[in-house]
Amino acid sequence: MLAFLPLATQASFIETSMGTAVVNDVTASYFNPAALVLIKNSQIIPQITLASFRTQFNGQSTLIGSITETGRSSTNTRYYSPSLYLGTPVNDRLILGLAIVTNSANRNVDEDSLLRYVQSNNNIQDYDVVPAMALKLNTFFSLGIGLNFSYANFDVQPILGFPGSNIADSQSHNQSDGRGVGGNIGFLLKLSPTTVLGFNYRSLTTYRLSGKSTYQGSPSLTSNSYHFKFWTPARSVISVNHALTSKLGIIGTLQYFQWNALTNIHVYNIATVAGSMPVVVNGVIPYYLHNTWFFTVGSHYRMKPQWILRIAACYNQSPGNPHYQIANGDSIILGLSSGYDFNKTMTMDVGYAHAFIKNQNIDINGNRYSINGVNNGARDAVSLRLLFNV
């Protein structure tokens, strides 16, 4: 389930970190509804983002009471994130917006992986519908609010086995879905003619997921009352955008993620195996994540009246706890995007970013297994969006 955690940050790192709380188009519906006051006419923005996340673990894994396996294990996660943003001014003070954001993640683990008993193939989708509104109180200050209606679908396929025995590996197939509701509030403050400050707070969202768990061994066993609760973290964001000249500007963003709400996941009525017999049990998955900071500095330069270039560098702290899961280290992200105005009606924006992820030492000593080694990884993302002024 850990693959679900980064879904909200997989879009182009430029758009989701550089100026997250100060944006001048209808993506503000999602990132900071107060910034909707910056749009002057109705807008439509379709966007597509593709990302790839690769990890490799080198070390050893021991199932308690069994043999120790040594070697390496790789995973590859693909992200697909289409989205649509709409917004329109009702009058000089009130602006309405709507964001429809989808995120899909598909993780594949090496066959016969060293970590096949603690990592699993999975397919996870998340769909968010975010209606929002902004109210311009005066020339300098605006408020915005939004609601986040979310739906998630999990398809997790863990491997079960006992290395060193004559019992062959088997697999479970656990499918579940559920809904959650969260809130989104922000403000936008014009400090001077050249400086704008934005703040956004997105609340924790709780998902209550239920579905079917099937043990696919012989004999097989199905539980139709499989269920659990899952949380995505609350997030606070502050951004400052300052224009140095009519062409050149700088921006800084600071984000704080409250991951510590995710401690233990209690899973009920999951089909598994005890020895050679399939059983339905309850379980606890420990996470014990810690809160993190995400820092961004960047610049934007209008090379020509119709062409703008943006660059950004980010430092992203990892929330993972290497004593409980195969976590990733902190990362440094470099991003680049460019926008081109074809005419007054249409703008195209293309972005690319690469994350350099630090090695993370793993030292897990659980009730069933111990894992020791080093995990490393990298992430790439590309995005394309079109802006239509209506």
- Which domain CATH number covers 124? 2.40.160.60
Q: How far apart are CA 322 and CA 337, in angstroms?
A: 33
Look at the chain and report how many structural domains it folds into: 1
Residues near 135 by beta carbon (within 8 Å), at least 6 away in sequence: 37, 93, 94, 142, 143, 144
Nearest to 51 by CA among 98, 3, 119, 112: 3
Does 384 reside within a domain? yes
For 148, what's the count of Cα atoms within 13 Å in the CB-facing half-sphere? 28
Whether residue 213 lies inside any domain: the answer is no
From residue 124, alpha-carbon distances to 12, 70, 102, 313, 325 in Å are 19, 30, 11, 29, 19
Q: Are 106 and 78 in contact (CB under 8 A)?
A: yes
Question: pLDDT at position 15, please?
Answer: 55
- Rounded to whole angstroms, the Cα distance separating 282 from 277 reads 16
Identify whether 23 is part of a domain. yes
Q: Does the N-terminal peptide bond of residue 219 adopt cis geometry, omega within 30 degrees of 0?
A: yes
93 located within any domain: yes
Tell me if 151 sits within 8 A of 208, measured CB to CB. Answer: no
Query: What's the pLDDT at 273?
Result: 81
Does residue 133 lie within any of the structural domains? Answer: yes
Q: What is the mean pLDDT of each run of 10 residues along the chain (390 residues)?
A: 45 56 88 94 94 91 78 89 95 96 88 77 92 96 96 86 58 90 95 95 93 89 93 92 94 92 88 83 86 92 93 91 90 91 94 92 86 92 92
Residue 208 lies in a domain: no
Range of the domain at 313: 2-146+183-200+244-259+292-389
Residues 176 and 210: their CA atoms lie apart, in Å, by 5
**253 vs 22: CA distance, rounded Å:** 9
Residue 270 lies in a domain: no
Buried b (16+ CB within 10 A) or exposed e, 301-335: eeeeeeebebbbbbebbbbbebebbbbbbebebeb
Q: Is residue 54 part of a domain?
A: yes
User: What phi-psi label fits residue 24: left (phi over 0), alpha (psi between -120 and 50 degrees) or beta?
Assistant: alpha
Spatial CA neighbour of 15 closest among 336, 340, 356: 336
Q: Which residues on adjacent β-strands are paired with residue 132? A: 97, 146
pLDDT of residue 358: 95
